[in-house]
Amino acid sequence: MSFNERLKELRIRAGISQEKLARELGASIKSIGNYELGHALPSAEQLPKIAKYFGVSIDSLLTEQEEYVAQAYEKGGARSAKDVSALIADVSGMFAGGTLSEDDKDAAMKAMLNAYWIAKEENKKKFTPKRYRAKPERKVNQTV
């Protein structure tokens, strides 16, 4: 069950409206609506609040793929989250109907996501104009 389905189920089971949940979590009604429609995932700050409010673990709220997308959002923003989401969809399609075990599929997914982040860092180094690059720290030669 995906996060949006799980959140809606928990909210309905608790008998509360989106408005009340938003108020309780300190979020906007629009955010709660976007979560339930599957248009957005909560931030790393908001997710523990949701889990605590409903008395469930964070792991029970997110699928593994959603965790990857949420981490990508925290690490690199909306564009990274979109890229990782697309990568997951493409990779998942490769395994559809295959004979790999779930552990092997998870290992392959993690390896591909790791390769994505390495490539992103390398590209940042390669394509960032020199004037915007962080300057390396200069070592001061101290003689006693």
Q: How far apart are CA 94 and CA 90, in angstroms?
A: 7
State whether 80 and 102 are in the same domain: yes
State whether 122 and 72 are in the same domain: yes
Q: 11: domain CATH number?
A: 1.10.260.40
Work out the number of other CB atoms within 10 angstroms of the CB of residue 81: 20
Work out the number of other CB atoms within 10 angstroms of the CB of residue 50: 23
Count, residues in the chain: 144
- The single residue listed with the structure tokens 């908001």 is 46
Task: Establish if 138 belongs to a structural domain.
Answer: no
Work out the number of other CB atoms within 10 angstroms of the CB of residue 106: 12
Task: Establish if 140 belongs to a structural domain.
Answer: no
Looking at 46, 61, 76, the residue that finishes a domain is: 61
State whether 25 and 76 are in the same domain: no
Task: Establish if 109 belongs to a structural domain.
Answer: yes
Range of the domain at 44: 3-61
Domain count, the chain: 2
- The CA R_g of the chain, rounded to the nearest whole Å, is 20
State whether 57 and 72 are in the same domain: no
Q: What is the pLDDT along the chain (144 residues), one digit of tens a residue?
A: 888 899 999 999 999 999 999 999 999 999 999 999 988 888 878 888 998 999 988 778 877 777 777 777 777 777 877 887 787 777 766 666 666 677 777 777 778 778 888 888 888 777 778 777 666 666 666 665
* pTM score of the predicted model: 0.57
